[in-house]
Amino acid sequence: MKKVWKKPLLVLASLALTFSVTACGGAKDKEAGAPAAGGSKELVVVDWGGASSEAAKKNVYEPFEKANNVKITVVSPTDVGKLKAMVQSGAVEWDVVNSDTDVALRLEKEGMLEKLDYTQIKKDDVYPELVTDCSIGLQVYFTNIAYNTEAFPGGKHPKTWTEFWDTKAFPGARSLYKNPVGTLEAALLADGVAPDKLYPLDVDRAFKSLGKIKKDVKVWWDAGAQPPQLLGTKEVVAAAAWNGRVSSAKAQGSPIDNEFNQSLGMATSWVIPKGAPHKDLAQKFIAYAVTAESQAAYSKAIDYAPTNKKALDMLPDDVKQRIGQTPDRVSKQIFINNKWWLDNYDKIAERFNKFMLE
């Protein structure tokens, strides 16, 4: 059941992941990263690219490289189809992947992932709802209502998904995520469903609501960098967007901003594809990446919340405000129910794809 967040620690305690997915494979691999030219080891890390990747490079990847004589090659963006093809063909080129948590759970269930080595990876301070046999939480982010501040000056922008859907009161083109996860929740909230009554999702009602705004959706985006670009140029005036991408563009002078009311909370997780060439080094990397120090440094660089409770304690109040971890913002947020999506994603994704073609 989806929860409305009450306070930072309860936010993540509400994640609907209180189950074990055990289809991931294999015992701990003893292979270390093969030496690269110059004697360093190599590791291929897959992330989402853009501002989040730049923040990770400076605050996670480079410190790990220096401390361990490792050369990290970054591949972006995360491509689940390619990961599956690699595993199924036995030709895996990636070592560590930053995956949406709901996707990580499905990959784990399908046996696409290596088992994480929790003798190396310290999970005690990571929200337990984000720890499974084959995945561990990396960051918490929000799909917000984002808007162009010139199109909607003086705080007169859409503040609820109902207002986002109301193109008469708030005129202009829209952009939505080309994925049913989160998009269906926004559609139901727009149609008047109470946050604590969202799950199980009324799928028919959600698609009916999406049909009402479809003509106004100029771009269905599939990369996180798109909404800030579309908003900054006024190609659209309001969009569903990831909060960190919006705040990064805003800091660089773009006339856009986040609305944290009715934020849809989501998470990403670290996973190791089954058959990854440098599995042991990948375990070591994840162990480093989930430490409080590493996660705090990352959250200071980009506005995504840590999954390590002690990292949150290391952040100043202004950062907590930007990453949505203050009581006033937490009280207005809604968390995606990953367990529900694990059970229902495939059939809804098929319907969503048909909806896009109609």
What's the rounded Cα separation, in Å, for the pair 5 and 266?
A: 12
> pLDDT per residue over 99-116, tens digit each?
999 999 999 999 999 999
CA atoms within 13 A on the CB side of 271: 34
| Whether 275 contacts 346, CB under 8 Å | no
User: What band does 223 get if pLDDT is binned at 50, 70 and 90?
Assistant: confident
Higher model confidence: residue 247 or residue 172? 172
Q: For position 116, what pLDDT does the model report?
A: 98
User: What band does 314 get if pLDDT is binned at 50, 70 and 90?
Assistant: very high
Region of poorest pLDDT, from 166-180, 209-223, 297-311, 320-334: 320-334
Report the mean per-residue pLDDT for the chain: 89
**Over residues 284-292, mean pLDDT:** 97
Return the percentage of the chain with pLDDT > 70, whole number.
89
Q: For position 38, what pLDDT does the model report?
A: 53
| Whether 164 contacts 238, CB under 8 Å | yes
What's the rounded Cα separation, in Å, for the pair 92 and 58?
A: 26
Q: For position 224, what pLDDT does the model report?
A: 87
Q: Quick count: other Cβ atoms within 10 Å of Cβ 194?
A: 9
Residue 171 one-letter amino acid = P
Residue 326 has pLDDT above 90, yes or no: no
**Over residues 57-65, mean pLDDT:** 97
Q: For position 170, what pLDDT does the model report?
A: 98
